[in-house]
């Protein structure tokens, strides 16, 4: 009888203990910037451009062509809501793209391409704001863009990391341009300093490479020799991305692997070049901000 | 008075002779003659319309020949949603990572739908909700 009397109390205790956990999960979903970024992607407005204009846009982002506001003002103004949603989302503490690596090679990574478009548009938006004399707005757009760029690479594969690197360097170049061409206030410089410091640790290249390489695991599940070779490559690859002097060991591991596996291993030298390029750009921008 | 009028009418009717009708206009003959003229006008109009259309297209997309040649030599970025497999294939076959990334953003519309077809996604996304 006593046991029966205890049952309601036990249920109540169980519910009370599960409540905070559920609430915490609910809160973490609300605090996930990735969901807001998807919302921003949905608001991106397209505009028909020619091959020549596509080249010009890439040149502007590379810093090899000047930004002409009369040509891109309409495109930028059509996307202001997308920029605003993105900027507000960067204030959230976490960004989880919810990637299911159990899908192997079929993990969707199109979010990264959408991120590339929105991020590049955001750089043009910052140029547009500078041209129109809105320095506060430009600094806010650049600060948000830096955080967004970093978030694009969060938990992603090499592809997403490369896109995050491209966006980070574009934003850092735009920060350098703003510092060179405009007279920014102490508060504006400080805002940029904080934003650059937040992304200063760079991107997690070894983790991204590991995610990519592990997708091959399923392909060689029935081949112990290839599977062992893959394990060696994963270890050497991550070590080489942490320390470039270990590249030789990685090359040896790749050469010793079955040819079909060796053929699909991403070029680590190219990845290292990208990592180095980002580090250099970060250092240069930080020096400018001192 | 009434009798006098009747007499006048009778005299008039006696003098009345129907007038021979004028020859009817031969429409068939006339249209046959104007057919070449109409054809010429239609041909001129068609040439003008085609010329205007070409000028319109050119004024919208002005691409220097060199740029167009270079662009056509470039690879077209995958148009379908990317997965790790297709993204890695795109990266692996690109001359550099930078060119691969550049090729993915700001893409010109490269594959419009064939004539007479429309986007299934656009059709399905048209909402039919009425409040």
Q: Are residues A177 and A59 in the same domain?
A: yes
Mean pLDDT (whole number) for A46-58:
84
For residue A150, give the nearest of A188, A88, A113, A95 by alpha carbon: A95
Residue A78 reports pLDDT greater than 70:
yes
Domain annotation covers residue A70: yes
Least confident segment among A5-14, A214-223, B35-44, B60-69: B60-69
Report the gap between the CA of B94 and the closest CA in chain A (Å). Answer: 12
Write down the pLDDT at residue A66.
Answer: 92
Write down the pLDDT at residue B102.
Answer: 87
A282 or A47, which is more confident?
A: A282
Judge whether B87 is closer than 8 Å to chain A, CB to CB.
yes
Q: Identify all chain B residues contacting A54, using CB atoms and an 8 Å cutoff.
A: 106-108
Mean pLDDT (whole number) for B62-87:
62
Instruction: Kindly report the three-state secondary structure assignment for every residue of chain B.
Output: CHHHHHHHHHHHHHHCCCCCCCCCCCHHHHHHHHHHHHHHHHHHHHHHHHHHHHHHHHHHCCCCHHHHHHHHHCCCCCCCCCEHHHHHHHHHCCCCHHHHHHHHCCCCCCCCCCCCCCCHHHHHCCCCCCC
Token pair 């003002």 is found at A73
Q: Are residues A71 and A190 in the same domain?
A: yes
Write down the pLDDT at residue A46.
Answer: 86
Q: Are residues A214 and A186 in the same domain?
A: no
Domain annotation covers residue A230: yes
B108–A274 CB contact, under 8 Å: no
Q: How far apart are CA A208 and CA A150, in angstroms?
A: 13
Residue B36 reports pLDDT greater than 50:
yes
Mean pLDDT (whole number) for A204-225:
94
Q: Are residues A143 and A244 in the same domain?
A: no
Q: Are residues A43 and A148 in the same domain?
A: yes
Write down the pLDDT at residue B21.
Answer: 63
Q: Which residues pair with A108 in a beta bridge?
A: B83
Locate all alpha helices (DSSP H) within chain A, ordered by sequence. Answer: 2-30, 33-42, 51-62, 69-78, 80-89, 110-131, 135-152, 158-181, 186-198, 205-214, 224-242, 247-255, 259-262, 268-289
A32 φ, ψ (degrees, to nearest 5)? -85, 110
Q: How far apart are CA B97 and CA B100, in angstroms?
A: 5
Domain annotation covers residue A285: no
Mean pLDDT (whole number) for A176-193:
94
Write down the pLDDT at residue A3.
Answer: 59
Q: How far apart are CA A40 and CA A34, in angstroms?
A: 10
pTM greater than 0.80:
no
Report the gap between the CA of B74 and the closest CA in chain A (Å). Answer: 10
Q: Are residues A77 and A10 in the same domain?
A: no
Write down the pLDDT at residue B71.
Answer: 42
**Domain containing A192: what range?**
33-203
Question: pLDDT category, B62, cuts 50, 70, 90?
Answer: very low
For residue A165, give the nearest of A274, A60, A287 by alpha carbon: A274
A162–B71 CB contact, under 8 Å: no
Question: pLDDT category, B47, cuts 50, 70, 90?
Answer: low
Domain annotation covers residue A278: no
Domain final position from A174, A203, A232: A203
Residue of chain B nearest A49, judged by CA positions: B108
Q: Mean pLDDT score of chain A, rounded to an integer?
A: 91
Question: pLDDT category, A236, cuts 50, 70, 90?
Answer: very high
Report the gap between the CA of B75 and the closest CA in chain A (Å). Answer: 12
Q: Identify all chain B residues contacting A159, using CB atoms and an 8 Å cutoff.
A: 82, 84, 87-88, 91
Q: Are residues A137 and A261 in the same domain?
A: no
Domain annotation covers residue A283: no
Mean pLDDT (whole number) for B23-44:
57
Closest CB to A266: pick one of B64, B92, B105. B92
Least confident segment among A49-53, A164-168, A223-227, B48-52: B48-52
Q: Are residues A37 and A146 in the same domain?
A: yes
Report the gap between the CA of B131 and the closest CA in chain A (Å). Answer: 24
Domain annotation covers residue A277: no
Report the gap between the CA of B113 and the closest CA in chain A (Å). Answer: 15
Question: pLDDT category, B4, cuts 50, 70, 90?
Answer: low
Q: Are residues A2 and A45 in the same domain?
A: no
Q: Identify all chain B residues contacting A117, using CB atoms and an 8 Å cutoff.
A: 105-106
| Count of structural domains, chain A | 3
Q: Are residues A7 and A113 in the same domain?
A: no
Question: pLDDT category, B11, cuts 50, 70, 90?
Answer: confident
Tell me the CB-side half-sphere exposure of residue A63, using CA atoms within 13 A: 13
B61 φ, ψ (degrees, to nearest 5)? -120, 90
Q: How far apart are CA A160 and CA A30, in angstroms?
A: 23
A181 or A168, which is more confident?
A: A168
Q: Are residues A194 and A218 in the same domain?
A: no
Write down the pLDDT at residue A89.
Answer: 98
Question: pLDDT category, B7, cuts 50, 70, 90?
Answer: confident
Write down the pLDDT at residue A214.
Answer: 95
Q: Are residues A100 and A7 in the same domain?
A: no
Tokens of A148: 């967004």
B85–A158 CB contact, under 8 Å: no
Domain annotation covers residue A281: no
Q: pLDDT tens across B76-91, in order? A: 778 888 999 999 999 9
Judge whether A51 is closer than 8 Å to chain B, CB to CB.
yes
Mean pLDDT (whole number) for A276-288:
96
Write down the pLDDT at residue A53.
Answer: 84
Residue of chain B nearest A212, judged by CA positions: B84
Domain final position from A151, A185, A203: A203
Write down the pLDDT at residue A172.
Answer: 97
């Amino acid at each position: 009888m006593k046991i029966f009397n205890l049952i309601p109390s036990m249920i109540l205790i169980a519910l009370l203990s599960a409540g905070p956990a559920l609430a915490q999960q609910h809160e973490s979903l609300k605090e996930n910037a990735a969901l807001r970024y998807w919302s921003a992607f949905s608001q991106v407005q397209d505009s028909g451009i020619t091959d020549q204009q596509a080249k010009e846009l890439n040149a502007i982002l590379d810093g090899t062509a000047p930004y002409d506001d009369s040509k891109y003002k309409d495109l930028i103004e059509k996307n202001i809501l997308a920029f605003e949603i993105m900027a507000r989302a960067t204030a959230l503490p976490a960004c989880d793209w919810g990637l299911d690596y159990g899908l192997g090679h079929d993990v969707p990574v199109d979010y990264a391409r959408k991120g590339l478009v929105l991020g590049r548009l955001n750089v043009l938006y910052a140029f547009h704001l500078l041209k129109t004399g809105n320095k506060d707005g430009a600094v806010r757009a650049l600060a948000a863009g830096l955080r967004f760029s970093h978030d694009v690479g969060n938990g992603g594969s090499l592809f997403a990391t490369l896109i995050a690197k491209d966006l980070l360097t574009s934003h850092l170049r735009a920060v350098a341009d703003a510092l060179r061409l405009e007279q920014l206030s102490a508060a504006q410089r400080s805002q940029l300093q904080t934003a650059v410091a937040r992304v200063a640790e760079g991107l997690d290249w070894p983790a991204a490479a590991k995610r990519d390489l592990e997708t091959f695991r399923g392909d060689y599940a029935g081949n112990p020799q290839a599977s062992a070779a893959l394990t060696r490559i994963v270890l050497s690859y991550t070590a080489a991305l942490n320390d470039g002097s270990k590249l030789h060991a990685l090359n040896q591991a790749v050469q010793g692997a079955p040819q079909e596996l060796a053929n699909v291993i991403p070029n680590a030298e190219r990845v290292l070049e990208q990592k180095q390029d980002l580090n250099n750009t970060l250092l240069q921008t930080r020096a400018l901000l001192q | 008075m009434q009798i006098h009028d009747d007499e006048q009418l009778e005299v008039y009717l006696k003098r009345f002779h129907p007038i021979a009708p004028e020859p009817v206009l031969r429409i068939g003959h006339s249209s046959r003659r104007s057919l070449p003229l109409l054809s010429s006008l239609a041909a001129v109009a068609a040439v003008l319309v085609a010329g205007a259309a070409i000028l319109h297209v050119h004024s919208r997309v002005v691409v220097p020949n060199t740029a167009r040649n270079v662009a056509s030599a470039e690879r077209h970025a995958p148009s379908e949603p990317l997965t790790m497999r297709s993204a890695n294939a795109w990266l692996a076959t690109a001359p550099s990572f930078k060119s691969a990334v550049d090729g993915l953003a700001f893409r010109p519309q490269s594959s419009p739908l064939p004539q007479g077809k429309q986007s299934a996604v656009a059709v399905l996304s048209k909402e039919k909700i009425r409040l």
